[in-house]
Amino acid sequence: MDPNVNKKHKSSVFSTLFSDPEILREVYSAIEGFDIPPNAIIDINTLSDAIYMKQINDISFSIDNRLVVLIEHQSTINFNVPVRLLMYVGRVYEQMLDRKKLYQKNLIKIPMPEFIVLYNGREPHPEYMKLKLSTAFENIEGLKRQNNDGYPLELIVKIYNINHGFNKQILGKSKTLDSYSIFISKIWEYNKKLSLDKSMKAAIEYCIENNILKDFLKRHGSEVVNMLFAEISTEEYGEIRFNEGREEGAEKRDQYVLELINQGLSTEEIKQRLTQGAKSN
């Protein structure tokens, strides 16, 4: 793991596993089908919130300071990703660039951005698709003349389904990404018969026994389970608000979900409890 990653900040299993320059080189090369030169410098610049000690985006990094890549991991389908990534990339540029130079006459070159989402949720999803920021724009008919110059602002997100069995060419070129895909698929497989808590633990045992992310899972142990609880509660139960609109509420929701999972409740039972709690607030 990259020693520059701030371990005090709460992160996800995905961001913890992939916050390593060499792993990012491997993954990005697999996605692009182009080997990043070994001498190309990879700098991780993932955003963090100093107040709540959390990562804001999943992973962002630059390659030779000429390309800046933002990668998000999704276990649920979300069509607002382009808007979120627009907000993230502005902050990434803000921390990469010298503001004072922006007011100078000469053109300042900036790294070209690229936006990638890796999906491995349980809902059916195409192997590959694109989302555009312009899809979210309001209809402005009647407010200005029609023109064919295109949108004044656009952002394109490439989404890859990394569930096991999809995008075999990409997963075949990245052992880490393929191993992560197997690990998550085993959780969902066990979850058909076991509680989510037991499914995660069974998947970890299976992967360690079969040399899949073995070192990572042994090194992080129960931390992996706790991070997965937070990830799943945030995404799968995110539509059910616990103390709506407050960061403290999100913390309490995640802790509440963790307690319910530890009690052995199923996913549906947890959703019912959260729904009841939201109605009573």
More confident residue, 231 or 112: 112
Domain positions in the chain:
1-174, 191-281
Sign of the torsion angle spanned by Cα atoms 231, 235, 237, 243: positive
Which of 68-72, 158-162, 222-226, 245-249 bottoms out in mean pLDDT, i.e. has the lowest? 245-249
> Which residue type does 40 have?
A
Tell me the pLDDT tens digit for each residue of 65-124.
Answer: 999 999 999 888 889 999 999 999 999 999 999 989 999 999 999 999 999 999 988 888
Residue matched to tokens 């630059």: 62
**Residues 198 and 262: beta-carbon distance below 8 Å:** no
Q: List b or e across 176-185, with b for residues whose CB sees 16 or more CB atoms inside 10 angstroms.
A: bbbbbbbbbb
**9: which residues sit within 8 A by CB, 6+ positions away?**
48, 49, 53, 54, 55
* pTM assigned to the model: 0.79
Q: List b or e across 142-161, with b for residues whose CB sees 16 or more CB atoms inside 10 angstroms.
A: eeeeeeeeeeeeebebebbb
Tell me the pLDDT tens digit for each residue of 112-139.
Answer: 999 999 998 888 899 999 999 999 999 8
Residue 56 has pLDDT above 50, yes or no: yes
